[in-house]
Chains A and B, each alone.
Chain A
Amino acid sequence: MSLKEATRDSYGKALTEFAEQYDLYVLDADLAAATKTGIFKKAYPERFIECGIAEGNMMGVAAGLAATGKTVFASSFAMFAAGRAFEQVRNSIGYPHLNVKIGATHAGISVGEDGATHQCNEDIALMRTIPGMVVLNPADPVEARLCVKAAIEHEGPVYLRFGRMAVESIFDENYKFEIGKGAVLKDGKDVAIVATGLMVARAMEAAEKLAEEGIDAAVINMASIKPLDADLVLQYAKKCGAMVTTEEHSVIGGLGSAVCEVVCEQGNCPVVRHGVEDQFGKSGPALALLDLYELNADGIAEKARYAVSLKK
């Protein structure tokens, strides 16, 4: 628990770090200071392209750069990158399977004071539906850096989801990340909690609470939402017989849906989804909002108890 920083900071630093080795181009839509691509801009001004407040055009420009062989990162807030520019991402980047990485920051309710218009709880759902799109949602600064590296080395479009709020690091320098692989952070036999993003740390906390009640919960970090580690999900569905998904995203279409799709078709156990219910966010300090929407250890533990109660 040495490092505490927002995954968007890790993103900006990682771009700058890997720009030495890789010929990266970074685009932003007038939010470089907030998305932290500004760190890259300062170090590599000739490879930073300011696109102004025009996200649709930015995605198309990114596609054009990639069509000439360049590796491109296009950044904005999740709301505008995945939301406003959805169709440009689908048709100009996804359909031709171009090498564009979308670095989306300020995802989820923890945007805080800016409120509902800027709190994107739908981006995983949107991006997951695009054929060939990889969707990554790192849990901490260490994993965020590794996700950037994996995205660079992956040929094709990748959506990377980063947060605004500083988070404690969970992983150390020995942690390995691989696209399509989940990681078991704590083994358990009664219920499996599949978590992503900043909910991973909260899931670990929930597992401790549950242990006090005699419930042995496994915690799985699922940064790679697409492709999903279906084998690991099915393994724990079988082992625990009950599953909870937790994400700072709508319960519709995100990690919860992805896990349900796998378990419904190939497994056999109840899956309880924990996340933002079918509603918009509101203004307030990030931590207070996470508590208000029950995106905390207590919220997860409650869902876990319910999942256990559903076991036959």
Chain B
Amino acid sequence: MIEEVKLQLKKNANTIRMDIIEETHSAKSGHPGGSLSIADILAYLYFVEMNIDPKNPQWAERDRFVLSKGHTAPALYSALARRGFFDPAELINLRHIGSFLQGHPDMKHTPGVDMSTGSLGQGISAACGMALSAKKSGASYRVYTILGDGEIEEGQVWEALMFAAHYKLDNLCVVVDDNGLQIDGPVAEVMNSASIQEKAKAFGLHVIDMDGHDFDSIEKAFNEAKGISGKPSLIVAKTVKGKGVSFMENQVSWHGSAPNDEQKEIALNELKEAAKCL
């Protein structure tokens, strides 16, 4: 990847992380851990990969994105706002009465949200429907969806993967955010889903490993997925839950709790320092 692009993406991801802290702090609730783990992937999707037009969110030919792990909406909202879909000043209204930024993504009220999600396991099915729709209409858009590694414990995910492979949805790119933690503890202890790669391969998907915090690796993975024909791709993104905020990293307690005033300041200072080093 060109160094200038990479630098800009790192800055974008850092901004998304700062927004996540501000949003969840303001909401006094929400899910910072899994939001921080997908910040780099969303930065790449929204600023490089996807063919979208913030001025025309309903553009029929746009690439689609479905946040199947809908609880990490703070990361998505930031990416959308920073990409120009709506005013970033709205972000601190997350989860507040009257805000269009609901606790989980709402396609009816938030510009740029392509599917309402939140109930785990359901977003990927809608993504399959969108990808099949493109095939049926002869449209060239691609569909991206991010799932949590805990989310794949839902049986519906495997129904959807079977469907995607059956219909050869090579315009569908499934990303599993493999941060290793879910609410009740490590995924390996709560309900071991390993090996995601072997299971997905057995279901007929093209499987790609990726470092979810390295833009060279991210670019390589998404480019590889685009080159695959005849089958959908599944990218296993190795990530760190809470990435970028020292006291949140790899801490399951930050799955679904918001930073208080003091924690917010510490987190923002860390992220500001990180930005200075870029």
Contacts and interface: CB of A to CB of B under 8 A. Distances in A.
Given A67-B115, A92-B116, A46 B127 contact: no
A272 interface: no
A52 B126 contact: no
B132 A64 contact: yes
Nearest to B166: A52
Interface string A6-28: 00000000000000000001000
A88 interface: yes
A61 B145 CA distance: 14
B129 A91 contact: no
A60 B60 contact: no
Interface in A140-159: none
9 contacts: A54-B163, A56-B156, A60-B124, A64-B130, A65-B133, A67-B114, A68-B64, A87-B119, A91-B119
B160 interface: yes
Interface residues of A, number: 29
A139 to B, nearest CB: 33
Contacts of B156: 54, 56-57, 60, 88
Contact of A65 (B123, B132, B162): B132
Interface string B91-129: 000000000000000111000001110110111111111
Contact of A54 (B116, B119, B122, B159): B159
A51 B163 contact: yes
Interface in B124-146: 124-134, 136-137
B125 A88 contact: yes
Contacts of A87: 119
A135 interface: no
Interface of B: 60, 64, 66, 106-108, 114-116, 118-119, 121-134, 136-137, 155-156, 159-160, 162-163, 166
Contact of A92 (B122, B134, B159, B162): B122
A62 B32 CA distance: 31
A97 interface: yes
Given A68-B130, A97-B108, A61 B119 contact: no
Interface string A33-66: 0000000000000110101101011111111111
Contacts of B114: 67
A54 to B, nearest CB: 4
Contacts of B122: 56, 60, 88, 91-92
A61 B163 contact: yes
Contacts, number: 105
Nearest to A57: B159
A214 interface: no
A57 B116 contact: no
Contacts of B159: 52, 54, 56-57
Given A54-B163, A92-B122, A65 B130 contact: yes
A95 interface: yes
A67 B126 contact: yes
Given A60-B129, A96-B107, 19 more contacts: A46-B136, A56-B125, A57-B128, A57-B160, A59-B125, A60-B128, A60-B160, A61-B125, A61-B126, A61-B129, A62-B129, A64-B128, A64-B131, A66-B129, A67-B130, A88-B125, A92-B115, A92-B116, A97-B108
A138 B107 CA distance: 32
Listed residue (A25, A52, A64) with the most chain B CB atoms within 10 angstroms of its CB: A64
A63 B115 contact: yes
